[in-house]
Structures are given as C-alpha cells and as structure tokens.
Amino acid sequence: MSTPSAEIAVIGGSGFYRFLTGARDVSVDTPFGEPSDPVTVGELGGRRVAFLARHGRDHRHPPHRVNYRANLWALRSLGVRQVLAPCAVGSLRPELGPGSVVVPDQVVDRTWGRAHTVYDDTGPVVHVSLADPYCARGRAAVLGAAAGGDRPVTDGGTLVVINGPRFSTRAESRWHAAAGWSLVGMTGMPEAAIARELAMCYTAIALVTDLDAGVEGGAGVTHDEVLRVFAANVERLKSLVEDVVPALPADDDCTCRRALDGLTLPRPLP
C-alpha cells in the first residue's frame, strides 16, 4: 500500500491530541529518529491534511524532549508545505485572559539544550532568515476565518518560549511582560525555526489557558489548570482550524517556500 500524502499539517498541542476522523495512521522514518506519534492523514475541506500530536496522544513527551526535527521532517516527507500549530500558552497581558486566542507575529527563544537545526552535519553552514517567523499568508487565513464570527482572535503579539517543563517564576514573568511580550509557551521553538529551515509555511494559533505568575491577577500556574481551560475551549479551537484549512492558499507563491533559495544544503530534503 502506498504512503498517503498531505499538503497541510496540524500539529496539536497540550489537550489537542486528535483531530481527523476516518483517517489513516502513517509511520515515517526520519534521519532524526521517530516523530512524537504516528502521523494521521486524511481529508478536510477538500484538502489533504496530516495531523500530529506534538506531545504524543498520551502526552508522554515533555516540551524539552519533543523531537521537533523528526516531527517536521516527517511532515515534509509526506508532502506537507503548510503547518498550523495550535498551542497552549500563558498570558503576559491582563486583557488576554483564559480562553483568548492569539495569532502571534513574533517569537523570542529562551530555550536551551534542544536540537535547533536540521543542518548540523559536516558541510556548508546554512543560515536561514527568521526575521518574520510566522507565515504572513497563514496568519491572514486564520484571521479571515475568525472574522465576523463568535470566535474573536487577537492579531499579533510576541510569544516567548521558555524551556520548561516548569512554569515561570514571578520575577521571570514580570521580566517577560516588561519586555513587551504578550504570551509565554514551551513549544514554539525550535518548531518555527525548523519549519523555516525546511521551507514550510508555519502559523501558530495560541490558546491562552492562564495568566502567568507575574501578571496582575495571576496566582501561579498549575498543569491541571492548563488542561482544564484547554479542554473547555478545544472544540472552539478545532472549529477554527477546520475553517482555516480550506482557506489556506493552494499555490507555492510564498516567501516561506523560498527560504532556502540560493543556499547549498548539506543534505537533500524529502
């Protein structure tokens, strides 16, 4: 039986473990080991879609142990060129309370010890631009799908990615807020950077589950609280993603797809 292909992928975060129904599980080998879970491939809105649970369907992979390289490589191997990445985040701004959905336009990477590139082989050094880490056309599709409905979405904001798995101290949270950042999460990097290294469009859709510890009114974050708020809002988030998928551009006319133009790569891409 031939391996199915997909043009769009959804990477589900904490609490977002299943998405497609009547779809086929596919195991994909990569140079970086196994992805977090088998990839589920099916159809949605007339588009071929792959779904991958970032932490595994049983949430067995903590954020600092997710094999981001294998996940993105596996998706590209199946033909994916556009990625939607729902994720659970904390808010650094009181007006973005639990249940808010934000489409960030910038990211700050405060992670360490993770494999941050697929190009660490001996060979030509690969420097990929990440000035604008999220796909402009993907962001526009999300905002367009949310416009005029009962699913308000905040346009823009900076997501700071911490290493985890612990949550921030109050001092760290106040520092992040004072820097002007909007959200804090644990999985947005190196995921966005690796997607760019693979010339894939990448769009984060962030669901706020809590006010971070240093924010006014933030009492401190617990894992149970994150999962409880995400579970209360996951169907709304899935509905939004379902509307975004058919709205994504079907052509290759995007700067994300040309991120590797003119570069010599040390390994061929799938």
Per-residue pLDDT of the chain (270 residues; tens, 9 = 90+): 577 899 999 998 666 667 777 789 999 999 999 999 999 999 988 999 999 999 988 889 999 999 999 999 999 999 999 999 999 999 999 999 999 999 999 999 999 999 999 998 778 899 999 999 999 999 999 999 998 777 789 999 999 999 999 999 999 999 999 999 999 999 999 999 999 999 999 999 999 998 988 776 655 666 777 778 777 878 888 899 999 999 999 998 999 999 999 999 998 899
210 is a catalytic site residue: yes
The CATH number covering residue 64 comes to 3.40.50.1580
Q: Indicate which residue of 58, 120, 121, 212 is catalytic.
A: 212
61 contacts: CB under 8 Å, gap ≥ 6:
36, 54, 55, 67
Q: Which domain holds residue 153?
A: 8-258
Give the integer Cα–Cα distance in Å for 187 and 66: 8
Give the per-residue pLDDT at 140.
97
Radius of gyration of the chain (CA): 18
Give the per-residue pLDDT at 231.
77
Residue whose entry in the numeric block shows the structure tokens 């939004």: 240
Give the per-residue pLDDT at 1.
57
Could you tell me if residue 46 is inside a domain?
yes
Give the per-residue pLDDT at 218.
54
Specify the number of domains making up the chain: 1
Could you tell me if residue 263 is inside a domain?
no
Give the integer Cα–Cα distance in Å for 211 and 94: 7
The H or E element spanning position 140 is helix 136-146
Distances (CA, A) of 210 to 90, 121, 183, 217, 218: 5, 40, 10, 10, 8
Give the per-residue pLDDT at 216.
67
248 contacts: CB under 8 Å, gap ≥ 6:
8, 47, 82, 84, 137, 138, 141
Could you tell me if residue 239 is inside a domain?
yes
Q: Indicate which residue of 210, 243, 251, 261 is catalytic.
A: 210
Give the integer Cα–Cα distance in Å for 191 and 117: 10
User: What is the biggest distance separating any 2 CA atoms in the chain, rounded to whole angstroms?
Assistant: 56
Could you tell me if residue 264 is inside a domain?
no
Could you tell me if residue 171 is inside a domain?
yes
Give the integer Cα–Cα distance in Å for 239 and 79: 24
Give the per-residue pLDDT at 15.
64
Could you tell me if residue 268 is inside a domain?
no
Torsion of CA 175, 179, 183, 188, to 10 degrees: -100
DSSP annotation of 169: P
Could you tell me if residue 236 is inside a domain?
yes
Could you tell me if residue 265 is inside a domain?
no
